[in-house]
A and B are shown apart, each in its own frame.
Chain A
Amino acid sequence: MRKYIILFLISLLVFSAFAQDTNKLDKEITPKAELVLQDRANDGGTGFTLTFKPLNKPEELKTYFLRIYKEVNQEEILIREMKVDNRGQTVKMPMSVQKADTNIIARAYYQKDGEVIEFKEQSLITKGEWVDTARLSAFIAAILFISMIFIYVKKARSGEELFVRRIPGLGEINDAIGRATEMGKPVFYIPGTSTIRDVATLASLNILRSVGKKVAEYTTPMKVLIQRPLVLGVAQEVVQEAYMSAGRPDLYNEDDVYLAAAGQFAFASAAQGAMVREKPGAVFLLGMFWAESLLLAETANSVGAIQIAGTDATSQIPFFIAACDYTLIGEELYAASAYLSREPKLLGTLKAQDYFKGLLLIITILALFLDLVGVEIIVKYILS
């Protein structure tokens, strides 16, 4: 009896082994996956995204392989090869090629009996767009702003009166010159330490013209200290013109507009030395400055001069505010320059800036109110 039971158990084992084999033969794995190639929107035609979603269960098929090719002169060149572990998660990969209109071919493989077999293929030709629609709002804003500049510059050139309010600092400039005249001391003017291409330097030279005219009328001596050679030439011409327009060309001395030194701190030392020796009654620090700003302002303060400063360098404005009697902050420097010179380009751009700023203010306030009630249209389509 025992013999038969053992025989029966052995045969059961043998049959179950066979059964496994049979199962294996019956259940052939069919690899399934979603393979999508998408051209990237709003680019120059070099970007695409590959999305791969395994549809087999992880126990069924543990690993897939992906190969991405680009076609160059009808030849397929492999650009990427990778193994994807099946975790049931979608894999999204942004990629790039070097040229637009490239034919991309993506192939998915699976492994069977040591062999890698292809089961899916997708292809795509990358395309570039002429217009980046995601940045359309910025483009429209740029066109609008540029148009406004053209319109207002044209208006200014045609002689139309464009109102610019008086900058409070301008009154201080006249007071400072008056004070220096009363004390019988010279006026020092430093038009920044930047190049002639800097907007702040150009704005400062415009203000120099009206300051020069005033000092010529009051017959107050003025010294202009320069760091850059190109600025020197322009400054000399500006001062000479100013003196001529005041009817006092005889007062102009070329040596009063001079190159103090070329290096940053060498200039600061030279300017400090000049201030200590000549003890000016008023010092104008208008233009672009860097670390030498506080050195100049402090020295001018120590010799008892009244100081008017103005710069668009946000890192130096705090120093000027702390050390000087009056400071033109940022755009006030440009506005003062436009107000005094009445140059059509300056005036026109200032007005255009103002109106564009006003438009943006209105849009922002509108967006705030709409956002409060849950309407995000402005934020979504214009401001972001």
Chain B
Amino acid sequence: MNLKKISEFLLNFKKKYIYLVMFVLISTPLVLKRTQKTYETKEVKSIYQKIEEIYQHNQDNPEDKLAIFISVDFAPSTKAECDPMMNAMLRHAFLRDIPVLGWAGVPQGIDYGLERFNTIAKEYNKKYGEDYIYLGYAYPFLQAALSLGTDVRIFSSTDYYGKDTYDNYPIMEKFNNYNKLGLFTSITGTSLAEGWIQYANGLFNQEVAAGVTAVNASRLYPFLQSGQLVGMMGGLKGAAEYEQMVERLEKKEIKKDIKNYLSGLYKNYEAPEDNPRKYDTSYTKTELLKSINSRKMARQGMAAQKIAHFYVIALIIIANIGYLLKKRYESRR
């Protein structure tokens, strides 16, 4: 057995072929539209259960409802992982008629976050200012975190659209500080989640959950273990888990095929002249398609992710074998 030749072959794969095989392996499940069913971990289930608890509380106390706050702390550059998380969470909240407040912690996320809020709200016929609101850019961070301790309208005196938050929105009258928030979620690709834990949870004992990119996920496990975080969605896997749980809930609640449900949602609706909704009350074919596809984004990604991981594991094993053979050859020499 020519150890030298074998080890050289194994250790010198050309990079372009490695990338080419990666391209083919990732594209195949996406082209075939495969989705990957995933096991649900405790840390993601905790967030889901927390929102269910809020729903139950709202059912039992209709005069003393709780809302959730979603902080869009990611830029479109990390939307791969963060977008499915935010979509799933918004769907969950709207399905359960939980009021949602939101803002963006990074400037590149402002309009992106608003677009997602309005798009998902459209799927559940939610009204801006009553069922949800978007407060624009939460900067400086510390003042944003502290303002929620008393009244967020001191900080966000206008919403994204520039309207006064004191006079114009029923949701802001009822839900304007941590007391009225059942859960604060930071969805981020930066270290902003740690900031929310430090101030919202540290100073005000607010329940905080995080949806983070995989790069930052390993840093947040200590907070999960200490109970400072209610739960965490880590990377595309976490997003896929939450997406899966929400899809089950949606099937149970809506009891219809999603396409039929969305097509029929605004069939008999006539928008008034001063339409308070921040979206068109109709679905085009392309919008319908996009809405349906966005419900399985993370799981489609996980199908490709699974193959990519196996591929890289195989490459690592091959390279290690090559390295061991090289060492053996050199020691024989």
A residues apposed to B, CB below 8 Å: 43-44, 46-47, 82-84, 91, 93-96, 98, 135, 314-315
- Chain A residues near B63: list those with CB within 8 A: 82-84
Q: Flag if A98 contacts B154 (CB, 8 Å).
A: yes
| A95 contacts B179, C-beta separation under 8 Å | yes
Known: A82-B63, A82-B64, A315-B219. A94 touches B154 (CB 8 A): no
- Return the chain B residue nearest A40 by Cβ: B179
**A93 close to B64 (CB less than 8 A):** yes
Question: Provided the pairs A47-B179, A96-B177, A96-B179 are in contact, do residues A315 and B215 lie with their beta carbons within 8 angstroms?
Answer: yes
Q: A96-B149, A98-B150 are in contact. List 6 more A-B contacts (CB 8 A).
A: A82-B64, A94-B179, A96-B177, A98-B151, A98-B154, A135-B203
Residues of chain A within 8 A of B64, CB atoms compared: 82, 91, 93
Q: Which chain A residue shows the least CB distance to B61?
A: A91
The minimal Cβ–Cβ distance linking B274 to chain A, given in whole angstroms, is: 27
Those of B119-163 within 8 Å (CB) of chain A = 149-151, 154
What chain A residues lie within 8 Å of B58 (beta carbons)?
Answer: none
Residues of chain B contacted by A83 (CB below 8 angstroms):
63
Shortest distance in angstroms between B74's beta carbon and chain A's nearest beta carbon?
A: 15
Chain A residues within an 8 Å CB radius of B216? 315
**Which of A82, A96, A135, A314 interacts with B151 by CB under 8 Å?**
A96
Report whether B61 and A44 are in contact in the complex, using a CB–CB cutoff of 8 Å. Answer: no
CA distance A95 to B215 in the complex (A): 38
Q: Contact string, B169-187, partner A, CB cutoff 8 A, digits 1/0?
A: 0000000010100000000
**Could you list 15 A-B pairs, sorted by A, with CB under 8 Å?**
A44-B149, A44-B150, A46-B149, A83-B63, A93-B64, A95-B179, A96-B149, A96-B150, A96-B151, A98-B150, A98-B154, A135-B203, A314-B218, A315-B215, A315-B219
Q: Find chain A residues with CB under 8 A from B215 CB.
A: 315
Distance between Cα atoms of A125 and B61 in the complex (Å) = 27
Chain B residue contacts of A91, Cβ below 8 A: 61, 64
Distance of A98 Cα from B153 Cα, bound (Å): 10
Taking the nearest CB of chain A, how far is it from the CB of B4, in angstroms?
20
Interchain CB contact under 8 A, B219 and A314: yes
- When distances are taken between beta carbons in the complex, the residues of chain A under 8 Å from B219 are 314-315
Chain A proximity mask over B263-301: 1 for CB below 8 Å, otherwise 0: 000000000000000000000000000000000000000
A135 to B203, CA, bound (A): 9
A46, closest chain B residue (CB): B150
- Complex: chain A residue closest to B213, CB-CB: A315
CA distance A328 to B291 in the complex (A): 48
Q: Which of chain B's residues 53-110 have a Cβ closer than 8 Å to chain A?
A: 61, 63-64
Closest chain-B Cβ to A58's Cβ sits at a distance in Å of 15
Report Cα–Cα, A96/B146, bound state, in Å.
14
Report how far A94 CA is from B150 CA in the complex, Å: 12
Minimum C-beta distance from B176 to chain A (A): 8
Report the Cα distance A98→B216, complex, angstroms: 36
Q: How far is the CA of A47 from the CA of B151 in the complex (A)?
A: 11
Q: How far is the CB of B66 from the nearest CB of chain A, in Å?
A: 11
* Bound complex: CA A82 to CA B62 (Å): 10
B63: nearest chain-A partner, CB-CB: A82
* Chain B residues near A98 (CB-CB < 8 A): 150-151, 154
A43–B150 CA distance with the chains assembled, in angstroms: 10
